[in-house]
Amino acid sequence: MNTNQFNQVLNTDIQAFIQNFAPAILGILIIFWVISRQLRARFVTARMTIYLILMAIGAVEIFQYVEKSGLTIGFLGNLLIYSLVLPPIFGWLRVLTYTYWVNDDQQVMRKGNLLTALFWIIYMALHLGLDHFTKAPGNLFLLFDIGFSLLVQRYLAYNKARKQFPKEIENNRKAKE
């Protein structure tokens, strides 16, 4: 094998690795980042802009795929399971694991626990398993789904905190303005 052939094989292997594993590695890094944030004490807010941005980017990816590959029954099934069923269910489950309290500044805080992390891990395992068994294009739904799941979670967490601490939650809103 000469140098040119070696470089061609090496480039092919690197491209295959990036194509096959980079989305999964990126997804894992995102999930670790999200989990680490949810296991720390954080202010309860109603801001959802970042989740809407993630959903918009994910929706663009999905539409581009449909435009290029067409709409199939399998794709619609994946879309229904991935994007409309699993994200809100797991967002709701994670909210149930939160602890809420009022800090010294009279602001409402929340913190997840190991069960919160476990629900994230189960959610991602289901997501990846469904990708594999349904032959979904790798991580096509991931950004939209994570954005939607976090949007539902944030909405439900804020409403739960607002019901539990109706006066103090106003301090959170004022502090963010």
CA dihedral 91, 67, 130, 24 (to 10 degrees): -80
H helical segments located in 39-113:
49-69, 73-78, 86-96
Question: pLDDT of 33-73, one tens digit each?
Answer: 889 999 999 999 999 999 999 899 988 888 888 888 777 77
Question: pLDDT of 134-164, one tens digit each?
Answer: 666 667 778 888 899 999 999 999 999 999 9
